[in-house]
Structure 1
Amino acid sequence: MKNLHYKILLFFLLVASTQSFAQMAIDKGTKFVNLGIGVGGYGYYTGGGGIGLNAGLDFGIAPNITVGALAGYRSYGSIAAINSTYRYSSFDIGARGSYHFNELLSLANDKIDLYAGLGISYFSFSYGGFADTYGTVYVPIHVGGRYLFSERLGAFAELNSSLATLKLGLTLKF
């Protein structure tokens, strides 16, 4: 049974490799807008809970290179001693750059975009119960991909070191 599965997989790979596909072009003037949610986090400030909202813009400035902006917000609460509710909230705003690997990896599909990069962001964390606020500037890294369902609409997923470990959502290409 395993051999049959491998033969079917091999058949589809051979058929796909004989087809002519274009790569997704990331050139000067290419624009992406990402809107999504974020889950997970690192440490005390972002690992506590809640689902974050995030948005990002990427602008093509050269072949395979984009620069852009990012913003995110996350809020969650917990019940503490003496029936008081404490709110935790955090936000992240910054700039980033990405390299798109489609050409380098010779991806033969014009619907897929794989990228990675880093940026500079301001992160703020507030603990409502004590009105305590913490803020810092840091360098987030990201690795992601997007798949376009049509010429302009798709989905994206990113692993990163910012407000959420995993970001998922919709992407628009202009």
Structure 2
Amino acid sequence: MKKLSVLLFALFVSLVVSAQNGAYSKGDKLLNVGIGLNSYYSGGIPFGASFEYGVTEDISVGINADYLSHKYGGFGYDWKFTALYFGARANYHFNTLLNINNEKVDVYAGVGLGYRSFKWKDSDYDGEGLKSSYGSGVYFGILAGGKYYFTENIGGFLELGATGSTNVRLGVAFKF
């Protein structure tokens, strides 16, 4: 998984380096829908979405949600956990600073703050299980990402960092 993350990041950087007015502007409404390529927990595929609004030429603010659930068992035990993340996020878009003049490329980094709900169910086990390792509460996230728009309003994105229940998210980006 680490090699895949490095490969995807290298691909993205090569797109940026070959870039020739960035794909982000004040007033843009941005929607990302994607999956996590890994999980902080013991399995499952994280699904997430974020929506942001461009408040300045370089800063967007918005909300995000993330869902992960996994059921597994063995040795007479059945376990299931569900993690839900809801929060706010803000991103700084580096296109102006880095002089990226390609209408298809958007490079950004940001922070998030929100609430994580973690639920654990087991059918037979009397111990603490994952309940002692993970819990509900406030979370803080930090990320770096980029988008490449295939059309004026639809593209792909890659985000690295703490974006919910994963540290690598890949998906579809929409601009309205």
Q: What TM-score do you get using the length of structure 2 for normalisation?
A: 0.79
**What residue identity is the alignment partner of 1:111?**
K
Size of the aligned set, in residue pairs, is 150
Deviations 1:115-164 (A, max 9, x none): 00102111122211169582010211111000000001001110121211
What is the alpha-carbon distance in structure 2 between the residues aligned to residue 25 and residue 73 of structure 1? 27
Question: 1:83-122 to 2 correspondence within 5 Å?
Answer: 84-122=77-115
**What residue identity is the alignment partner of 2:135?**
Y
CA deviation after TM superposition for structure 1 residue 24, in Å = 2.4
Question: 1:138-149 to 2 correspondence within 5 Å?
Answer: 138-149=139-150
Q: What is the RMSD computed on CA atoms of the aligned residues?
A: 2.0
What is the alpha-carbon distance in structure 1 between the residues aligned to residue 21 and residue 108 of structure 2? 17
CA deviation after TM superposition for structure 1 residue 78, in Å = 1.5
CA deviation after TM superposition for structure 1 residue 91, in Å = 0.9
CA deviation after TM superposition for structure 1 residue 34, in Å = 0.6
* Matched-pair contact (CA < 8 Å) for 1:88–1:128: yes
Q: Equivalent residue for 1:26?
A: 25
Of 61, 65, 75 in structure 1, the residue corresponding to residue 55 of structure 2 is: 61
* Matched-pair contact (CA < 8 Å) for 2:24–2:93: no
> 4+ residue stretches of structure 1 with deviation over 4 A?
130-133
Question: 1:146-157 to 2 correspondence within 5 Å?
Answer: 146-157=147-158
**What residue identity is the alignment partner of 2:51?**
L
Question: 1:124-163 to 2 correspondence within 5 Å?
Answer: 124-129=117-122, 134-161=135-162, 162-163=164-165
**What residue identity is the alignment partner of 1:24?**
A
Q: Equivalent residue for 2:67?
A: 73
Bigger shift: residues 100-109 or 122-131: 122-131
1:168 aligns with 2:170: yes
Task: Tell me the SS of whatever aligns to 1:50.
Answer: coil
**What residue identity is the alignment partner of 1:30?**
D
Bigger shift: residues 71-80 or 59-68: 71-80
